[in-house]
Amino acid sequence: MVRVYYYDNIPGDQRLPHDSGKPVSLSTLEEIGVSYWYVPVEGHESKIEQIAKEREYKNRDVINVTKEGLGELYESKIKMFFEEHLHEDEEIRYVLSGSGYFDVREQRSDAWIRVGVEPGDLLVLPAGIYHRFTLDETNAIRSMRLFKDEPKWIAHNRGVETDSNPYRVEYLRSIGVGA
């Protein structure tokens, strides 16, 4: 079962658990627009196809985030992934191997919620949600990325301009915050 909890905000290696000891329910994730499924990796094809069809995902690829896979870009990519940002598209990740953490902002408290992902976890972050990603101490994750259209990955780091991004505004409206 996926581990979801409030991030402790104690300085230190981002790849450590940073578990505050305060668990978060899957219903709390749903309230902020985050969807989660567990789909066993062995024999996952039909269930992933069903979800892709239902959610209109037309494209996919596989990303390997490892020191070997990213080479000299590894440290800069890990740092970039951990910057607080949003996307104008859903971010869909299905973990095939390895593990890591997605942190998502709980809008009402501005607290980080940490989601520890492992093989079989399928996480969908809505367009406009502030989030970040990091590996854990295993330093490796292999994930399928699904896309509604052509694959793209444009991060908009948090700031005054991003706070007024139409996708951010729509996200806030969708969870009942703002006008």
The secondary structure of 26-82, three-state, reads HHHHHHCCCEEEECCCCCCHHHHHHHHHHCCCCEEEEEEEEHHHHHHHHHHHHHHHC
In a domain, 116, yes or no: yes
Q: Which residues of 23-44 are buried (b: 16+ CB within 10 A; e: fewer)?
A: ebeeeebeebbbbeeebeeeeb
pLDDT tens digits along 124-177: 999 999 999 999 999 999 999 999 887 777 899 999 999 999 999 999 999 998
Is 44 flagged in the annotation as binding? no
Instruction: Name, in order, each residue with C-beta under 8 angstroms of 144's C-beta and a sequence gap of 6 or more.
Output: 48, 60, 61, 62, 93, 94, 96
pLDDT tens digits along 48-88: 999 999 999 999 999 999 999 889 999 999 999 999 999 99
Domain extent, residue 77, equals: 3-174
In a domain, 179, yes or no: no
Is 91 flagged in the annotation as binding? yes
Find the CATH number of the domain harbouring 116: 2.60.120.10
Q: What is the pTM of this model?
A: 0.94
Is 131 flagged in the annotation as binding? yes
